[in-house]
Amino acid sequence: MGESKKQVGVLGLGRMGSALAGALLGAGHDVSVWNRSPLKAGPLLDRGARLAATPAEAASADVVISCLSTYDTQQPVLEAAAPAGRTLVNLTSGTPEQARGVAKWAASEGVEYVDGVIMAVPQGIGTPGARILYSGSAAAFDAQRDVLPVLGEPVFLGEDAGLAALYDLALLGIMWSTMGGFLHALALVGTEGVTPSTFTPTALSWLSAVGGFLPGIGEQVASGDYETDVSALAINAAGLGLLEETSRGQGINPAVPAALRELFDRAVAAGHGAHAIASVIEEIR
């Protein structure tokens, strides 16, 4: 990271925007902040931030970072900010199409545009584990190498502004599926009095073994070769059936395994019973 300090405008001081502004202040940047509810700026002003009365005032900086709740709430703020000739780094979560829409608007306004997604919680911002994925203008991304690493490890994915949002949703899908599976497991073992603190260490070591399966699954998806001498899809579909039946028997909601069992059964019916689990992608695509 270079040593130069920049003027950074931050639009939005919710949990995440406040954490971003705090990390920028911590790195010595000159930070101006705007929020619909200005009282939230208090702790940042104590640390040296300047309060902007309008989005446009915050946007008269080298780079503008926006982190509002949704794209719908963000667009009027961006239009009021009118950051023509500056770089806009948009860290509001949305869909790839929404990101491409703002990129198009930015191009029409003469704004350099970088879209980003934050793979961290506010408390992680500025700590080594935090990663932020970016896409959009490579030149604008490169020009902000003094600023972006302060927030989290920056990873540039490509010039399609929608790519970061696509990765975000794909990665969150993995997180939500894992959490759904874990909550189902806790409910199931809980029917026999096993507590979360007893079960969680076993779940964690199993999760790390499951992580080891991912590269092989990825290779099979890439090649379309689903041959296996490890574990056939039909056996896994039957296992899901056992989990669903046991869940019902223990009196808990079987929705999590039932959704997967239906998908696996469809893949078996389509002729993939002897193939590897990777073949289920044929039913998802």
Question: Which residue of 8, 10, 16, 150 would you call a contact of ligand NAP, by CB under 6 A?
Answer: 16
36 interacts with ligand NAP by CB under 6 A: yes
Rg (CA), the chain: 23
40 interacts with ligand NAP by CB under 6 A: yes
Listed ranges 9-17, 129-137, 152-160, 201-209: which one lies at the site for ligand NAP (CB under 6 A): 9-17
Q: Can you tell me the distance from the alpha carbon of 255 to that of 112, in angstroms, rounded to the nearest whole number?
A: 45
Question: Which residue of 1, 45, 107, 121 would you call a contact of ligand NAP, by CB under 6 A?
Answer: 121
Q: What residue type is 71 in one-letter code?
A: Y
According to CB under 6 A, which residues from 59 to 98 bind ligand NAP?
67-69, 73, 77, 92-93
Distance, CA of 202 to chain centre: 26
14 interacts with ligand NAP by CB under 6 A: yes
Q: Which of the 8 DSSP states describes residue 268? A: I
Nearest CB to ligand NAP, comparing residues 16 and 63: 16
13 interacts with ligand NAP by CB under 6 A: yes
**Cβ atoms within 10 Å, residue 182:** 17
12 interacts with ligand NAP by CB under 6 A: yes
> Using CB atoms, what's the residue nearest to ligand NAP?
14
Nearest to 125 by CA among 247, 17, 43, 242: 17
51's CB contacts (< 8 A; 6+ apart) are 32, 33, 34, 38, 41, 45
Residues at the contact surface with ligand NAP, assessed by CB under 6 A: 12-17, 35-37, 40, 67-69, 73, 77, 92-93, 118, 121-122
